[in-house]
Amino acid sequence: MRIFLDTNILLDFLLDRKPHSEPAEELLQAIESGKAKGCVAGITISNLYYILNDLEKRKDPLPALATLLEFLEVVPTSKQVLQDAMKSGFKDFEDGIQHASAMTAHCRHLVTRNTKDFKKAKLSVVSAAEMAVLLRL
């Protein structure tokens, strides 16, 4: 099963944002162990670097990002993805890019903490906790 991870899921894990970090960690462990194929948008990695690098408590985010790249597939942010995002009707352009990337990667689920932001999604939108339960079945 292919699942797409929104940026906030990875931030929850990397910044240990309780109580959201536990299901994010369980989900990433399931992906790393091969229970699912995890995908992220190309812009997600650069956004993570920018956010983590901007925080004083985080000195060098590259090792953590390199570890994620060992088991996550990166969906290129192509011209077509950007055009699809522009036409998607999402209020937030970045959410549109996430959705278009998930569709391009043929993912079954988009995992996010902000499920309400993806009402226009054309695929299943679930939280990390919900996805972790699905992967346990």
- The pLDDT of residue 58 is above 70: no
User: How many whole angstroms separate alpha carbon 3 and alpha carbon 31?
Assistant: 9
Segment 46-53 shows an average pLDDT of: 92
- The pLDDT of residue 52 is above 70: yes
pLDDT-derived band at 60 (thresholds 50, 70, 90) equals confident
Q: Is 112 helix (H, G, I), strand (E, B) or coil?
A: coil
Using only C-alpha atoms, what is the Rg of the chain?
A: 14
pLDDT of residue 56: 59
- The pLDDT of residue 103 is above 80: yes
Decide the pairing of beta strands 2-5 and 37-41: parallel
Query: Under CATH, to which class is 2-136 assigned?
Result: alpha beta
- What is the enclosing helix (H) or strand (E) of 3? strand 2-5
| HSE-up (13 A, CA, CB side) for residue 115 | 11
User: How many whole angstroms separate alpha carbon 64 and alpha carbon 80?
Assistant: 29
Segment 70-86 shows an average pLDDT of: 97
Segment 94-102 shows an average pLDDT of: 97
Segment 33-55 shows an average pLDDT of: 93
pLDDT of residue 55: 78
User: How many whole angstroms separate alpha carbon 136 and alpha carbon 48?
Assistant: 28
pTM of full prediction above 0.95: no
- The pLDDT of residue 53 is above 90: no
**What's the pLDDT tens digit per position in 6-43?**
999 999 999 999 999 999 999 999 999 999 999 999 99
**What's the pLDDT tens digit per position in 1-16?**
999 999 999 999 999 9
Distances (CA, A) of 123 to 3, 14, 33, 107, 129: 10, 26, 24, 8, 17
